[in-house]
């Protein structure tokens, strides 16, 4: 490739990266690929801008092939090459999740090789979600069991994906009691996640990094929860009770669901517990939210109707 073509490609890529409209970025990426069909930057730009799922997958698969480290080569996850390759794997895994979940475990495990103590990729969340979608519940539960007690300091602790993945796997296997206990653990691990997954909350601002991370995980997990209406209803009931007691449930959602809760005879007992929590907050206005969460979870454990039991 001569210098003139190289300069032309660089100029087109600069314009594509700065494009404000997806269509403009798409057209510029196509122009680059006409000049160099193996330009990984253009393939990724194309995958981000296209509305065609097959075109997106094709571009990302090709980008992965082009960027994959050679035999004996290892990418540093903190260097540009490693970061770019990880970003391609993230995109590819997410794109495969809905339509070709059987291909996700391979991508996810490659991503997990880039996990460090300083930060994890989306490899494990992708793997767990794919296993749930594929009905490989025992395999997921074995992985989650391996997560527990990996370090003495965090004995018994699970990742967010492990906690919610275990709850759904047990529910899908018909272990109602185990699933209920696991869901309580999951709510204690990441209380906000169901409210994003169920679209009770809008996406957080980018500046709210922790919230944005939970929201992104919820977006991945939704693929598995949406596979089963009963599981989704189970999560919704628990999230509504937990959200009402901890002031996380939006008023418009409560107004919509209150008639159903009244009809089931559940609203009265919720209101009684909420009154006690409000009185507690009046006496101790600086009480940490975590304490309110623990009380709400204890209440739900004592009233298993809210957990499908």
**What tens digit of pLDDT does each residue of 56-88 get?**
999 999 999 999 998 888 898 889 999 999 999
Q: Which CATH architecture has domain 1-67?
A: Alpha Horseshoe (1.25)
Residue ranges of the chain whose pLDDT lies below 70: 149-156
Taking the domains of the chain in order of start, what are their residue ranges? 1-67, 68-149+156-307
pLDDT at residue 309, rounded to an integer: 80
pLDDT at residue 153, rounded to an integer: 42
* Integer Cα distance of 86 and 62 in angstroms: 14
Contact yes or no for 170/178 (Cβ under 8 A): yes
pLDDT at residue 44, rounded to an integer: 98
User: Which long-range CB contacts under 8 A does 128-132 form with residues at least 24 apart?
Assistant: 128/161, 128/162, 128/165, 129/97, 129/104, 129/161, 129/165, 129/220, 129/221, 129/223, 129/224, 130/97, 130/101, 130/102, 130/104, 130/105, 131/105, 131/165, 132/165, 132/168, 132/169, 132/172, 132/224, 132/227
pLDDT at residue 151, rounded to an integer: 45
Contact yes or no for 32/52 (Cβ under 8 A): no
pLDDT at residue 156, rounded to an integer: 56
Q: Tens digit of pLDDT for each residue in 133-153?
A: 999 999 999 999 998 756 444
């Amino acid at each position: 490739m001569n210098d003139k073509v190289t300069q032309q490609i660089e100029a087109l890529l600069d314009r594509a990266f700065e494009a404000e409209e997806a269509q403009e970025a798409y057209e510029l990426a196509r122009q680059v690929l006409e000049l160099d069909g193996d330009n990984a930057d253009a393939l990724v730009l194309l995958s981000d801008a296209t509305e065609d799922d097959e075109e997106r997958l094709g571009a990302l698969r090709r980008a992965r092939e082009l960027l994959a480290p050679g035999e004996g080569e290892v990418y540093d996850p903190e260097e540009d090459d490693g970061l770019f390759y990880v970003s391609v794997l993230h995109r590819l895994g997410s794109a495969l999740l809905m339509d070709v979940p059987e291909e996700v475990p391979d991508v996810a495990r490659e991503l997990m090789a880039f996990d460090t103590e300083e930060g994890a990729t989306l490899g494990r969340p992708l793997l767990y979600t794919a296993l749930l979608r594929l009905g490989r519940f025992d395999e997921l539960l074995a992985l989650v069991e391996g997560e527990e007690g990996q370090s003495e300091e965090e004995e018994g602790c699970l990742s967010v994906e492990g906690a919610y993945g275990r709850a759904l796997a047990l529910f899908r296997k018909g272990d109602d009691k185990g699933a209920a206990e696991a869901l309580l653990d999951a709510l204690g691990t990441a209380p906000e996640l169901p409210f994003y997954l169920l679209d009770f909350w809008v996406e957080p601002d980018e500046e709210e990094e922790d919230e944005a991370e939970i929201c992104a995980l919820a977006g991945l997990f939704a693929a598995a929860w949406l596979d089963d209406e009963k599981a989704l209803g189970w999560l919704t009931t628990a999230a509504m009770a937990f959200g009402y007691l901890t002031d996380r449930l939006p008023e418009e959602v409560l107004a919509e669901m209150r008639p159903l809760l009244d009809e089931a005879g559940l609203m009265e007992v919720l209101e009684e517990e909420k009154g006690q929590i409000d009185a507690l907050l009046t006496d101790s206005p600086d009480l940490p939210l975590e304490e309110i969460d623990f009380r709400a979870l204890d209440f739900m454990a004592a009233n298993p109707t809210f957990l499908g039991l």
